[in-house]
Amino acid sequence: MRRFKSLLIPGVDKKLLVRDAAKLLPEPSRRRFIAGGASLGALTLLTGCDVSDSFSAESMLTQISKFNDAVQAKIFNPNVLAPTYGEQDIKRPFPFNAFYSEDEAPKIDGQTWQLEVSGLVDNKKSWTLAELHQLPEVKQITRHICVEGWSAIGSWSGTPLRDFLKLVGADSHAKWVHFRCAEDYASSLDMPTALHPQTQMTFKFDDKILPRAYGYPMKIRVPTKLGFKNPKYVVAMEVTNDYKGGYWEDQGYNDFSGS
């Protein structure tokens, strides 16, 4: 068996590397990994990487992340619903969350805004907000779980994304639905998650038109995912077989990121 050349990793803290890699594992695997004496040796056996330089260290973490995504995608059940709650459980005011301050949130004119629809769909027309508001509305009270460790329960109303995808003739066998947002944010949903009954094109929060802070005029509510997979201020939706990443995904966050 090859020996680790850990002393050759310039500027890499071994304990931090192991800790960060463990975070990328699904919870049951993480517990077993830590209980087994989390080490660079264990990481090497798991990934096949010899950590001899910073590139290998990055490759190791990437492989762990891909492994995590594959496991979560494999066990994801599109028929299992996220927990729902009562009106008394709603957090008011609901926390603002973004990579910028609330004052920097986009200001969008709902009268001129349109949702661009493209990719593997039969109907590529753009939709006005008035048209979208005419679609059947469903309400859900679900928990938003942030990757930073906090959570809050909110009330969200809008159209199930799967109903809209059917309406525009989307290829349900495509791999991804990619979203672009007004503040240069982006994120991709795997098709099984996009078709989940609770994944929603959200137009209201707490029975009122979606406030600017929460993504006006439209956000995608995905209660089976971590918060960063819930894009706000959406301006474009593309059904595609090409993985196009996202704002946080391109910085190393797990793509699947189930909650």
Does any domain span residue 151? Answer: yes
Q: Are residues 92 and 35 in the same domain?
A: no
Domain count, the chain: 2
Considering the domain boundaries, does residue 119 fall inside one?
Answer: yes
- What are 122-158's pLDDT values in tens digits? 999 999 999 999 999 999 999 999 988 899 999 999 9
In a domain, 218, yes or no: yes
Residues 191 and 126 in one domain: yes
pTM: 0.73
pLDDT category, 59, cuts 50, 70, 90? Answer: low
What mean pLDDT is predicted for residues 163-172? 98
Is residue 24, in this structure, part of any structural domain at all?
Answer: yes
Domain hosting residue 91, numbered range: 87-251
Residue 103 forms part of a structural domain? yes
Same domain, 35 and 91: no
**Which of these ranges, 22-31, 182-191, 203-212, has the smallest mean pLDDT?**
22-31
Return the number of other C-beta atoms located less than 10 Å from residue 6's C-beta. Answer: 16
Interval 44-66 mean pLDDT: 50
Tell me, what's the pLDDT at 28? 43
Residues 29 and 95 in one domain: no
Each residue's pLDDT tens digit, 99-112:
999 999 999 999 99
Residues 105 and 176 in one domain: yes
- Residue 186: the pLDDT is 97
Whole-number pLDDT of residue 68? 54
What mean pLDDT value characterizes the chain? 81
Residue-wise pLDDT tens digits, 215-252: 999 999 999 999 999 999 999 999 999 999 999 999 88
Whether residues 246 and 154 share a domain: the answer is yes
**Residues contacting residue 222 through CB under 8 Å, at least 6 positions apart:** 189, 193, 196, 198, 199, 200, 229, 230
Instruction: Tell me whether residue 234 is in a domain.
Output: yes
- pLDDT confidence tier of residue 82, bands split at 50, 70 and 90: very high
Instruction: Give the domain CATH number at 145.
Output: 3.90.420.10
Same domain for 98 and 186, yes or no, is yes
